[in-house]
């Protein structure tokens, strides 16, 4: 597939064109934080910055209305109440522009949960079908990036419809999917010269070399499960965690939610909102019992889910795209790479030796 090129000034016109009949989410400055916001013509999109929040909110918003309800009371008989329920299915066409390859790949983790043979979440599926991803390849790697250790990389196009590689004066563009190629037709792209394609290749090679050697997670599921009952290990790993939940709220692959009803008078709506497994309340049962009562139990669950349980269910696929957001944004610098590696480095005590020690 031949590559195309678009200059910086024509990029703005392309975003304007895309936003004519679609919602367009782009990274924007929001009080000093780069995060996805609806594109407004005339306001600068920060395509060269990695957004703090994940592009998943294009298809899995932080808060969404699932349905609206209304009570109809019979004035002649106040005991007779009818409830009208109206499902709110999202139908808005959208494009998320400016996520990174790791974030787009994170979408594939969510697909296996919300859009699979055994489960089709109608809200997620509707958004997914109506939303396209225009991803920007990485021109440098941060110390927290480890996408290459989980099967991805700075120009990974999985999960994207269009991949843009920044070069001098603009972007080299690849239409990854048919729908992505249709998006390119709406902009003033030109055929990319060999020199620009070479430059794009050099940008990606440089970023890859900054990532260093990839870590091998192949025995992580087994090693984490071996440590499952070792609460000394988990207490040690979770000692500095303050259960703030930032790691899960910013993660492109976390997909837990809570549902609440908000009512005003005789009408209301049902909301779905992101939730965090790092909070005590997440598993608190009505009886008062909590199966994950300490932060050690909760960190064990988060690590186990991403690096052991999910891979077991999904052909070895690790439920982490290596974006490093949780590491960068954790207020106490808890590094999940270090937790998994500690489990990998931990030598299981052979049962025989344990028995001798006990004797």
Size of the site for ligand SF4 (CB under 6 A): 26
Strand partners, 24: 95
The two structure tokens encoding residue 286: 């009505």
- Is 244 one of the binding residues for ligand SF4 (CB under 6 A)? yes
- Tell me which of 67, 245, 297, 317 binds ligand SF4, using CB under 6 A: 245
Return d(Cα 223, Cα 216) in angstroms, integer: 12
Residue 4 or 237 with smaller CB distance to ligand SF4 = 237
Measure Cα distances from 114 to 66, 87, 123, 177 in Å: 15, 18, 9, 21
CB of 296 to ligand SF4, least distance (A): 11
CB of 278 to ligand SF4, least distance (A): 4
Instruction: Tell me the Cα Rg of the chain.
Output: 23
The two structure tokens encoding residue 330: 């954790």
CB of 103 to ligand SF4, least distance (A): 9
CB of 119 to ligand SF4, least distance (A): 21
The two structure tokens encoding residue 224: 């984490």
- Is 246 one of the binding residues for ligand SF4 (CB under 6 A)? yes
Find the binding residues for ligand SF4 in span 257-296 (CB under 6 A). Answer: 278
* Per-residue interface string for the shown chain with ligand SF4, residues 301-340, x marking contact by CB under 6 A: -----x-------------xxxxxxx---xxx-x-x----
Contact criterion met (CB below 8 Å) for 175 and 181 = yes
In degrees and rounded to multiples of 5, residue 99 shows phi and psi of: -75, 170
4-7/170-175 β-pairing: antiparallel
CB of 221 to ligand SF4, least distance (A): 15
- Tell me which of 241, 296, 308, 339 binds ligand SF4, using CB under 6 A: 241
Find the binding residues for ligand SF4 in span 106-165 (CB under 6 A). Answer: 106
- Tell me which of 27, 252, 304, 311 binds ligand SF4, using CB under 6 A: 252
CB of 53 to ligand SF4, least distance (A): 10
- Is 242 one of the binding residues for ligand SF4 (CB under 6 A)? yes
Q: What share of the chain is helix, strand, coil (3-state, %, to 5)?
A: 35, 25, 40
Among candidate residues 305, 326, 301, the one with its CA nearest the CA of residue 314? 305
Return d(Cα 171, Cα 296) in angstroms, integer: 45
Q: In the complex, which residues of this chain contact ligand SF4 (CB under 6 A)?
A: 106, 241-247, 250-253, 278, 306, 320-326, 330-332, 334, 336
């Amino acid at each position: 597939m031949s590559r195309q090129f678009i200059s910086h000034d024509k990029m703005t016109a392309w975003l304007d064109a895309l936003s004519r009949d679609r919602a367009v989410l782009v990274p924007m400055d929001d009080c000093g934080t780069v995060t996805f916001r609806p594109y407004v013509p005339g306001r600068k999109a920060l395509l060269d910055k990695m957004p703090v929040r994940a592009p998943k909110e294009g298809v899995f918003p932080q808060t969404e209305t699932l349905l609206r309800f209304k009570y109809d009371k019979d004035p002649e008989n106040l005991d007779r109440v009818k409830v009208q329920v109206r499902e709110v299915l999202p139908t808005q066409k959208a494009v998320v522009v400016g996520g990174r390859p790791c974030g787009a790949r994170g979408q594939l983790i969510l697909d296996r949960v919300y859009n699979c043979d055994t489960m089709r979440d109608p809200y997620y599926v509707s958004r997914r079908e109506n939303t396209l991803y225009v991803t920007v390849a990485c021109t440098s790697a941060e110390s927290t990036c480890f996408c290459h250790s989980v099967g991805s990389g700075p120009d990974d196009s999985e999960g994207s419809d269009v991949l843009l590689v920044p070069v001098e004066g603009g972007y080299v563009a690849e239409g990854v999917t048919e729908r992505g190629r249709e998006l390119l037709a709406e902009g003033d792209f030109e055929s990319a010269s060999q020199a620009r394609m070479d430059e794009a290749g050099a940008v990606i090679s440089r970023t890859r070399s900054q990532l260093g050697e990839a870590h091998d997670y192949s025995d992580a599921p087994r090693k984490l499960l071996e440590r499952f009952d070792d609460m000394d290990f988990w207490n040690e790993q979770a000692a500095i965690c303050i259960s703030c939940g930032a790691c899960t709220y910013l993660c492109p692959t976390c997909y837990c939610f809570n549902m609440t009803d908000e009512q005003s008078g005789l009408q209301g709506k049902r909301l779905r909102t992101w939730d965090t497994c790092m909070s005590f309340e997440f598993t608190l049962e009505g009886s008062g019992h909590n199966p994950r009562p300490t932060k050690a139990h909760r960190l064990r669950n988060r690590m186990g889910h991403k690096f052991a349980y999910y891979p077991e269910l999904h052909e070895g696929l690790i439920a982490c795209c290596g974006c490093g957001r949780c590491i960068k944004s954790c207020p106490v610098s808890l590094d999940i790479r270090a937790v998994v590696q500690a489990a990998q480095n931990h030598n299981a005590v052979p049962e025989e030796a344990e028995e001798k020690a006990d004797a």
